[in-house]
Structure 1
Amino acid sequence: MSLGRVVVVIPTYNEAENLAWIVGRLRAAEPEVDVLVVDDGSPDGTGAIADDLAAADSRVRVVHRTAKAGLGAAYLHGFRVALDAGYDVIGEMDADGSHQPEQLHRLLEALEGADLVIGSRWVPGGSVVNWPLNRELLSRGGNLYVRMLLGISVRDATAGFRLFRRTALEKIDLEAVQSTGYVFQTDMVARTLAAGLVVKEVPIEFVERVRGDSKMSGAVATESLKRITAWGLRERRDQVRRVWRRR
Structure 2
Amino acid sequence: MSEHHSTLGRTVMVVPTYNEAGNIAWIIERLRTAQPLVDVLVVDDGSPDGTGAIADQIALADQQVHVLHRTAKGGLGAAYLAGFRWALEAGYDVIGEMDADGSHQPEQLARLLAGLEDADLVIGSRWVPGGSVVNWPWQREALSRGGNLYVRLLLGITVRDATAGYRLFRRSTLERIHLDEVRSTGYVFQTDLVTRTLQAGLVVREVPIEFVERIRGESKMSGQVAVESLKRITWWGLRQRWNQIKGRPQAASTRELQATR
Give the TM-score range, shorter chain: over 0.9
Residue 35 of structure 1 corresponds to 40
Q: Secondary structure at the match of 1:17?
A: coil
- How many residues are aligned here? 243
CA-to-aligned-CA distance 1:59-98 (integer Å, 9 cap, x gap):
0000000000000000000000000000000000000000
**TM-score normalised to the size of structure 2?**
0.92
Of the candidates 81, 89, 108, which is equivalent to residue 84 of structure 1? 89
Q: Which moved more, 1:154-163 or 1:212-221?
A: 212-221
Of the candidates 162, 165, 169, which is equivalent to residue 164 of structure 1? 169
Residue 98 of structure 2 corresponds to 93
- Give the Cα–Cα distance (whole angstroms) in 1 for the partners of residues 194 and 113 of structure 2: 18
Residue 150 of structure 1 corresponds to 155
TM superposition shift of 1:236: 1.1
Residue 203 of structure 1 corresponds to 208
TM superposition shift of 1:235: 1.4
- Give the Cα–Cα distance (whole angstroms) in 2 for the partners of residues 225 and 158 of structure 1: 10
Residue 8 of structure 1 corresponds to 13
Residue 119 of structure 1 corresponds to 124
Q: Secondary structure at the match of 1:14?
A: coil
Given the alignment of the two structures, is residue 178 of structure 1 paired with residue 183 of structure 2, yes or no?
Answer: yes
Residue 20 of structure 1 corresponds to 25
Q: Secondary structure at the match of 1:149?
A: helix
Given the alignment of the two structures, is residue 141 of structure 1 paired with residue 141 of structure 2, yes or no?
Answer: no
- Give the Cα–Cα distance (whole angstroms) in 1 for the partners of residues 241 and 41 of structure 2: 38
- Give the Cα–Cα distance (whole angstroms) in 2 for the partners of residues 21 and 185 of structure 1: 25
Task: Specify the code of the residue in structure 2 equivalent to 1:106.
Answer: R
- Give the Cα–Cα distance (whole angstroms) in 2 for the partners of residues 206 and 34 of structure 1: 22
Q: Secondary structure at the match of 1:73?
A: helix
Residue 255 of structure 2 corresponds to none
- Give the Cα–Cα distance (whole angstroms) in 2 for the partners of residues 62 and 2 of structure 1: 26
Q: Secondary structure at the match of 1:181?
A: coil
Given the alignment of the two structures, is residue 227 of structure 1 paired with residue 239 of structure 2, yes or no?
Answer: no
Aligned identity (percent) is 77
**TM-score normalised to the size of structure 1?**
0.97
Given the alignment of the two structures, is residue 194 of structure 1 paired with residue 209 of structure 2, yes or no?
Answer: no
Q: Secondary structure at the match of 1:216?
A: coil
Given the alignment of the two structures, is residue 242 of structure 1 paired with residue 243 of structure 2, yes or no?
Answer: no
Runs of 4 or more, structure 1, over 4 Å off, are none
Task: Specify the code of the residue in structure 2 equivalent to 1:192.
Answer: T
- Give the Cα–Cα distance (whole angstroms) in 2 for the partners of residues 103 and 160 of structure 1: 14
Of the candidates 23, 47, 67, which is equivalent to residue 52 of structure 2? 47
Task: Specify the code of the residue in structure 2 equivalent to 1:194.
Answer: Q
Unaligned runs of 5+ in 1: none
Aligned Cα root-mean-square deviation (Å): 0.7
Unaligned runs of 5+ in 2: 1-5, 249-261
Q: Secondary structure at the match of 1:2?
A: helix
CA-to-aligned-CA distance 1:97-152 (integer Å, 9 cap, x gap):
00000000000000011000000000000000000000000000000000000000
